[in-house]
Structure 1
Amino acid sequence: MKWVYAIAGFALLVKMVVLPNPAADWEEIAIVESIVAESGVSNSVSGIIFRNRLYDTIFEVVVFTIAILGVRFLLANEQPTETVYQFSDHPSIVLARLGATIAALVSIELAIRGHLSPGGGFAAGVAGGTAIGLIAITSNSEWMEAIYKKWHAAIIEKVSVLIFIAVAVMTLVGWELPKGELGMFLSGGVIPLLNTLVAIKVTLGSWAAILLFIRYRGLL
């Protein structure tokens, strides 16, 4: 069997290094222009994520939701830590909160204009989670948990996932909003809505994970 593996490995090496790859002929169709025209959004990446491969995107959102549930499950039986490691010097606190403000503004921009320029729901959620993380390492954890509960963030997170799945399924079966004029804010049909829902889900899910790690680990 070792000879079989050796021959197979050598054949693969020859295929990768020696044999040329056939050149694709893209003269008949411009892929980017085609995606932009079909999706109605200037950002072709958003068009691919929320239209051409929307089926995959649905499960990506579901996987992220399961990951947050997994964090809660794994830490459910642990005792909360008594020590929380945070920034204590004033310059670090000021810089962290300034960074949190910038990250929050970037998150909003990426969410509501992700169909027009580089960005989108997942990038917006990462920026939002970063903003919350920077606040978490400079603020009282009990205060952050109180705000999380006051604004019912856990419920909003779950509702955003359900709405996303419902809208995505309706899109997959053929129901779409008017695409509008290409390049305008109100364009792209349901893509801006899906962008916003993903941004809310990822941001609030990150918030929940951050609070759990602070409560049971004492640090992010």
Structure 2
Amino acid sequence: MKWLYIIAGIALFGKFLFIANPTLDLPDISILEAVVQDSGIPNAVSGIIFRNRLYDTIFEVVVFTIAIMGANFLLANEKPSTTIYRFTDQPSIVLARLGATIAALVSIELGIRGHLSPGGGFAAGVAGGTAIGLVAITSSPEWMQAIYQRWQAATWEKISVLVFVILAVINLSGVELPHGEMGALISGGFIPILNLLVAIKVALGSWAVILIFIRYRGLL
């Protein structure tokens, strides 16, 4: 059986070396230009994520939500950590909070204008989660938890998921908002709204996971 695997591997490697891949007979207009024209925004990646493959994006958001719930469920029966590791020296705190400020500004920029420039809702949410993580490793966990509860971040996270799914289903059913002018801030129909909702969802979800691991593991 081992020799069979070796022969199959050699044959596959030979295919890559000596047999050319078939070429597609595409029309004159490129796929990239077609996506931009259909979505009405210059960022073709956001056009694909929030329009051409919106059905997949819905389940990506749902899977991220389930992952957060799973982390909370799996660690709920464990004893909270008694030792919390975080930065205590002033230079590290200053640098971490400076990085958090920059990451937060990038998150806001990508959340608002991600459909016009490289980036998008998922990148904006990751930048926001990074900012929250940098603040968390320089601050008291009780303070972070108090802010999370005061602003009802868990509720807003669930609302963002619910609104995203509703708008996505409406869009998939064939209802679209006017695309507006190409390159304008309000353009692309539902795409800017979906982009912002994903950014909020990922950032707040990251915040929840950070608090869970700080509480039960003592570190990120």
TM range (shorter): over 0.9
The separation in 2 between residues aligned to 1:71 and 1:139, in whole angstroms, is 22
After TM superposition, the structure 1 = structure 2 runs for residues 140-219 of structure 1, keeping only pairs within 5 Å, are 140-219=140-219
- Bigger mean CA offset, 26-35 vs 115-124: 26-35
Please name the residue that 1:30 is paired with. Answer: 30
- Work out the CA distance in 1 between the residues paired with 2:2 and 2:147: 62
1:46 aligns with 2:21: no
Q: CA deviation at 1:27?
A: 5.0
Letter in 2 for 1:175: V
Identity rate, percent: 71
The size of the alignment, in residue pairs, is: 220
State the TM-score, normalizing by the size of structure 2.
0.96
Partners in 2 of 1:148 and 1:81 — Cα distance?
Answer: 19
Ranges in structure 2 where 5+ consecutive residues have no aligned partner: none
Give the deviation of 1:2 after TM superposition.
Answer: 5.4
1:2 and 1:78 mapped to 2: Cα distance? 45
What letter is aligned with 1:104?
A
SS of residue matched to 1:219: coil
CA distance in 1, matches of 2:27, 2:155: 50
**DSSP 3-state at the match of 2:119:** coil
Cα distance in 1 for residues equivalent to 2:89 and 2:9: 57
Q: Distance in 2 between matches of 1:81 and 1:4?
A: 51
Distance in 1, matches of 2:28 and 2:15, equals 28
In the alignment, the residues of structure 2 paired with residue 33 and residue 80 of structure 1 have an alpha-carbon distance, to the nearest angstrom, of: 53
Q: Which runs of 4+ in 1 moved over 6 A?
A: none
Which residue identity does 2:138 align to in structure 1?
Answer: T
Q: What is the rounded CA distance, in whole Å, between the counterparts of 2:89 and 2:13 in structure 1?
A: 56
Corresponding residue for 1:118? 118
Question: Structure 2: which amino acid aligns with 1:190?
Answer: F
In structure 1, what is the Cα distance between the partners aligned to 2:129 and 2:25? 42
Q: What are the equivalent positions in structure 2 for 1:14-25 lying under 5 Å apart?
A: 14-25=14-25
Q: CA deviation at 1:110?
A: 0.4
| Structure 2 residue identity aligned to 1:42 | P
In 2, Cα distance between the equivalents of 1:81 and 1:101? 28
Tell me how far 1:3 sits from its aligned partner: 5.9
TM-score, normalisation: structure 1? 0.96
Deviation per residue, 1:163-182 (Å, 9 max, x gap): 10111111111011100000
Measure the CA separation in 2 of the matches of 1:81 and 1:10. Answer: 52
* Deviation readout 1:56-104 (Å, 9 max, x if unpaired): 1111101110110110011100111111111011111011111101100
Deviates further, 31-40 or 7-16: 7-16
| 2:171 partner letter | T
How far does residue 7 in structure 1 lie from its aligned partner after superposition?
4.4
- Computed over aligned residues only, the root mean square deviation of the Cα atoms, in angstroms, reads 1.3
